[in-house]
Structure 1
């Protein structure tokens, strides 16, 4: 959702203000929320949240800003969830034995399967251990999910 200009918001406010008293009632706000697909709030909850039974234009602007911020935060949270989900799937590909840890051997095997590692390289074991050690923050010789995530996010940037 993109932010609307003050003039657009004034037109919306004027259309919602059916009786022309310069205020938008809870019922009118509920109608607006339902029209934009945000029907998770009941009238009594909205009134309790706002602390009023109607909003003047300034209050309406604050209400709009709050809705925009909620939607932006929800989109950001959804994006983080999608990335985290993808990382879990990638982690499972590397963690071939399913023990929740990636060993240097599992790293070698996965990278070889992807064609990113030459199986005939004599320093293969040393390089994979070096990669593991670079991101192994608890120094156990393996990558757990958080360490893997940090590695993948660092490699991406």
Structure 2
């Protein structure tokens, strides 16, 4: 899986804009963040965004800010002590566990092609009847070639795509 493209983000924005006003409210944004396992309190989200809703350009900027914030910037880590880095790593792993649970819809501790496809369709990142894309995404990180991702394979995929 590669990072989200501008077109992917535009489709997500359109799906989130449930009332069609070309704005994504904090409630709509919060709903998405919860679905992908990112936790913000309403106060934190309001403080971070600074307004009650976002237009498309602001939404794209928000995604870019979140992506940069969670990326691995060596200069940033050089300034931090070991305890801070360990806490950040723990938080990233906790977030990956939450995201894994979103994809593992039947709780069998694996992500199948069907589960991956359902979540990507729900997020507007994929159209129905394109399971070939899901198979190739899974195969790229399926270390034991069983056709599905266990948590370690999923974690490898998530850490690979964020770097």
TM-score normalised to structure 2 length:
0.50
2:123 to 114, 117, 130: 114
The TM-score with structure 1 as length reference comes to 0.51
- For 1:76 and 1:155, the matched residues in 2 are separated by 19
- Greater relative contact order: 1 or 2 (C-alpha under 8 angstroms, separation 6 or more)? 2
- 2:99 corresponds in structure 1 to 90
Structure 1 unaligned blocks of 5 or more: 1-70
Quick one: which of 146, 151, 154 aligns to 2:152? 146
Residue 150 of structure 1 deviates from its aligned partner by 1.1
Cα deviations by residue, 1:23-60 (Å, 9 ceiling, x for unpaired) = xxxxxxxxxxxxxxxxxxxxxxxxxxxxxxxxxxxxxx
Choose 1 or 2 for highest CA Rg. Answer: 1
Deviation at 1:151, TM superposition (A): 0.9
What is the Cα deviation at residue 148 of structure 1? 0.6
Tell me which residue corresponds to 1:131: 137
Matched, 1:80 2:89: yes
Off by >3 Å, runs of 4+ in structure 1: none
Number of matched pairs: 85
Deviation digits for residues 102-132 of structure 1 (CA, Å, limit 9, x no counterpart): 000000001111111112xx4x111111111
Q: Root-mean-square deviation (CA), in Å?
A: 1.7
Query: For residues 69-91 of structure 1, what are the alpha-carbon distances to aligned partners after superposition, in whole Å with 9 as ceiling and x for unaligned?
Result: xx811111100000000000000
